[in-house]
Every structure is written in structure tokens, then in C-alpha cells.
Amino acid sequence: MRVVDRLAQRESSWRELEALLDRLGDARFPRLSAAQVVRLGELYRAACTDLMLAESHDLPRDTVAFLHALVGRAHNAVYRAQGFRFRDWARALFETVPRQLRTDRALRLSALVFYGSFILCGLVGAGREDFAARVIGESFVEQMDQMYAEPPGQERKDGLKRSDTMMAGFYIQHNTSIGLQCFAWGLFLGLGSLYQLVSNGVILGTVFGHMARTPNAANFYTFVTAHSVFELTAVVLSGAAGLRLGYGLIETKGQTRLASLRREAHRALPTVGASAVLFVMAAFIEGYISASALPYWAKAAVAILSALVLTLYLMLGGRVPREGRGLGIRADAGPNP
């Protein structure tokens, strides 16, 4: 069969592909069904072959131009980027993330490891005078003592200039780097994330415990109280996301390791986004409120409000209304390790 005759018989497939693309771009129609999506892929691949044949056999320019345009439209439909839409971002943050976290065993493990090491080292650091020097070093202990020798906001009273915005930017960079490490190190079968959680829990717990037994305890806790709720929770979320990566490499569920990693990474990304938001919020609180001369009760009120917001977010976020439950919709649907 001549190429010209073969391509003439293929014209009906081109028209079918064109109709699917028109339907896909028409806002009046819902999204394509699964069968139509599969058919779109088949027609797109066939059209690519037809275009190659048309070009190699010098068919009429009109035919080649039509196939070029058709293949270009199909390529854009199959591989197009949806772009950033605030509605989708908000849905992921306020619906997807809290639903996942309520049943996420990785989050429970992350919280247990981080807060367990934090509380243990805090208690030992407060009870033993030499513990902090052994864990974080004498130079770091001296630096902490000097840093909190004066109450927060004292530099303003002394006439020293300090940019709250600049400090908030520094805290964003520093804190988010910790969160990214907790997440990215999960590629080492989750062991890297566990190490980061234990390491941060030990260091922070030791500092909290040591400062509790020093004359500068009031200055230290006046500074850290307001932003600590968001900041510590963000570390736990980042660690949970990293453990997800490690879980994907260990439990593949019949997929290749790369496909399994891609699956768990896709599920972990909303959690990483939520931790980034918490890090940014904690940084602004640290720069504008924690470092200010506000009384301790005001900063404690910020911490209590932050804890209340987080509790409501995790308990109520993404809940399906009662009328949706009768349709068989599960509020906490999703696989778990």
C-alpha cells in the first residue's frame, strides 16, 4: 500500500483526535473520562507516526501543516503544565494535608522521635550541669549564655539598630534549610530523616534544659516561647515527609523503586509545603514578636493561640460534611504504611 493511500485512510483518526482536543479545551464539557484519556494517547502516538511518514515522503504541504498543528495541539494537551493556581494550593494545604496527617504513621513516628529526644535531653540537661557542655560543646554553651544575658528588646532601649524584617528573612533561610534536610535525607531509606530528627531534638532539648538552670532562663524563655510551637511542629512535619520517601524505597507495593519513590514523594509534597508555611510563620513571629520587648504573657498568648490553631487545623481540616458521608466518601481516605 502506498503511503498516500495509508494516510488517506488515517484521516478519520485525525478527525477523532481533533474532536477530543476540541472537547478538552471547551469549558462547557467536564474532563475526559479515563477511556477517552487513553484513546487520546493512542491517537497522539499514531499522529506522530503519520507526521513522520508525511514528511519523509514529501506529501502535500497542506497535509504536513495540518499534521504539524494537530500533533502540536495533542502534545500540549498531554504534557501541558497546569501552572500555579491559588485555589489548588489552598485545597492541598487546608484539605489534603490535614486528612493525610490524621492517619499518617510517619507523622507519629517523626513526632515520637523528635519530641522524645527533645524531652529526654531537656530533662537531663536541666538536671546535670555538665551535660550540655558534653553534648553541644563548651563554646556553644558560653555563646548561648552571652546571647541571652539581656532581655529581648534591650538593644532597642540601648539605641542599637536592628531590622526585624532582615532578621525574619534570616530565620526563614535558616529554619527552612533544617526542614529541607529532614525531608531530603529521607532518600537514605528514611534513616537520614531519623538522624536529623534525633540530632535536632538532642541539640534543642539540651539547650532548653541548660538554659532552665541558668540565671538567664527568663530571658531565654521569653524569647523562644512565641514562635516555638510553629517551628518545632514544622520540623516534625519535614521529618514525616522524609520518612515517606524512605518508606517508598522500602515498601514498593509491586512497583519499581523509582515509581514507588515517585508515588510517596507526590504524597509527601503537600506536607513539605505545610512545614514551609509553618517555618515562614515562625520566622516572622520570631523576628517581630519574640525579639520585641513585649511582656512574657503576651508572647505566651501567641504560643497558646498558635497551638490552638494547629490543633483545630489537624482535627477539622479537610473533614467531609455529613451529607457527603452518605455517598460513601471517606474523609481520611488514602494509603498508609
Cell digits of residue 293 = 520587648
For residue 126, the one-letter residue type is A
> What Å distances lie between residue 174 and 20, 101, 168, 170, 201, CA to CA?
49, 25, 10, 6, 16
The H-or-E segment that residue 72 falls in is helix 61-79
The structure's pTM equals 0.69
200-204 contacts at long range (C-beta below 8 A, 24 or more positions apart): 200/114, 200/235, 201/113, 201/114, 201/115, 201/116, 201/117, 201/118, 201/121, 202/117, 202/118, 202/121, 202/135, 203/135, 203/136, 204/118, 204/232
Q: What's the CA angle centered on 19, arms 16 and 22, to 5 degrees?
A: 155
Say if residues 245 and 276 touch (Cβ distance below 8 Å): no
Say if residues 322 and 247 touch (Cβ distance below 8 Å): no
Residue among 267, 266, 241, 249 nearest 179 (CA) = 241
pLDDT in tens, the chain (337 residues): 466 666 677 788 888 888 888 877 655 555 667 777 778 888 888 888 888 877 777 777 777 788 888 888 888 777 765 555 667 777 778 888 888 888 889 999 999 999 999 999 999 999 998 899 999 998 988 988 888 888 887 655 544 445 556 666 666 777 778 888 888 888 898 999 999 999 999 999 999 999 999 999 999 999 999 999 999 999 999 999 999 999 999 988 888 888 888 888 888 888 888 899 999 999 899 888 988 889 999 999 999 999 999 999 988 887 765 544 443 434 444 444 5
